[in-house]
């Protein structure tokens, strides 16, 4: 499985709810990540949702290519923040050495586990030399399956931190920062997360 249609269908239907309920502040990892980038650099966002993080990037002076697999989310990003987002699934990424950074907040966790190595290779190819990538993932534990449907019906991978480090290393990335923290997902489940900032070697 390269991508999960039921997950895309969920976000198509839930876009109005996400727009209405989204916090007024961008993700806490975003500003520290932007501080590592060249001024006015090019950023690809994978899974832009309603556009909150993309809006912050633009406010900071970056050029943003905001993408989401759900057309309804793209429309909400345009309506709420005036962002010219576009529809693109992770597996459709085809740019080469185009971006200084790739931002993927709470999005790659919906990729089937077997598909993640190929997606990381595409991200690696899309980055310019020395480019940075951020993604955060929910981590599995002994009481939950390591891949399957979450309480909202979305496909979610719950890997270990070790496995994620290995996948990024195999894709050619070096780890810049690895931040393990506790977070509450939109499904209402509190669990451990891993935020990774990596660099194209």
120-153 pLDDT, tens digit per residue, is 999 999 999 999 999 999 998 655 558 999 999 9
- 62 with 40: CB under 8 angstroms? yes
Number of compact structural domains in the chain: 1
For residue 91, being part of any structural domain is answered with yes
Residues of the chain scoring pLDDT < 50: none
For residue 24, being part of any structural domain is answered with no
SS3 category, 200: strand
The pLDDT value recorded for residue 22 is 57
For residue 54, being part of any structural domain is answered with yes
For residue 136, being part of any structural domain is answered with yes
> Which long-range contacts does 149-155 make (Cβ < 8 Å, 24+ apart)?
150/185, 150/187, 150/189, 151/187, 151/188, 151/189, 152/10, 152/186, 152/187, 153/6, 153/7, 153/10, 154/4, 154/6, 154/7, 154/10, 154/110, 154/187, 155/4, 155/6, 155/7, 155/110, 155/112
Q: Measured between alpha carbons, how far is residue 10 from residues 72, 110, 117, 174, 197 in Å?
A: 10, 12, 24, 34, 28
The pLDDT value recorded for residue 19 is 67
Backbone angles phi, psi at 55, to 5 degrees: -60, -40
For residue 184, being part of any structural domain is answered with yes
The pLDDT value recorded for residue 144 is 56
For residue 26, being part of any structural domain is answered with no
CATH code for the domain in which residue 122 is found: 3.40.50.150
SS3 category, 6: helix
The pLDDT value recorded for residue 25 is 63
- For residue 150, the enclosing domain spans 5-15+41-200
For residue 29, being part of any structural domain is answered with no
- 133 with 186: CB under 8 angstroms? no
CB atoms within 10 A of CB 18: 17
Rounded Cα distance, 160 and 144, in Å: 12
Q: Rounded to two decimals, what is the model's pTM?
A: 0.94
The pLDDT value recorded for residue 27 is 84
Backbone angles phi, psi at 76, to 5 degrees: -65, -35
CB atoms within 10 A of CB 172: 15
- 62 with 42: CB under 8 angstroms? yes
For residue 27, being part of any structural domain is answered with no
The pLDDT value recorded for residue 124 is 98
The pLDDT value recorded for residue 17 is 77
The pLDDT value recorded for residue 16 is 84
């Amino acid at each position: 499985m390269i991508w999960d249609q039921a997950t895309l269908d969920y976000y198509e239907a839930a876009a109005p709810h996400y727009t209405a309920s989204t916090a007024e502040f961008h993700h806490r990892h975003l500003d520290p990540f932007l501080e590592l980038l060249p001024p006015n650099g090019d950023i690809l966002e994978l899974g832009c949702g309603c556009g909150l993080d993309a809006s912050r990037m633009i406010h900071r002076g970056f050029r943003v290519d905001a993408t989401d697999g759900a057309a309804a989310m793209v429309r909400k990003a345009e309506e709420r923040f005036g962002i010219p987002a576009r529809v693109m699934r992770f597996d459709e990424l085809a740019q080469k050495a185009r971006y200084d950074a790739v931002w993927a907040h709470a999005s790659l966790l919906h990729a089937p586990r077997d598909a993640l190595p190929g997606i990381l290779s595409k991200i690696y190819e899309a980055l310019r030399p020395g480019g940075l990538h951020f993604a955060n993932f929910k981590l599995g534990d002994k009481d939950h399956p390591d891949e399957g449907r979450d309480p909202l019906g979305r496909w979610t991978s719950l890997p270990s931190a070790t496995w994620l480090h290995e996948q990024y290393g195999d894709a050619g990335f070096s780890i810049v920062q690895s931040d393990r923290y506790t977070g509450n997902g939109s499904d209402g489940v509190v669990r451990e997360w891993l935020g990774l900032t990596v660099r194209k070697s």
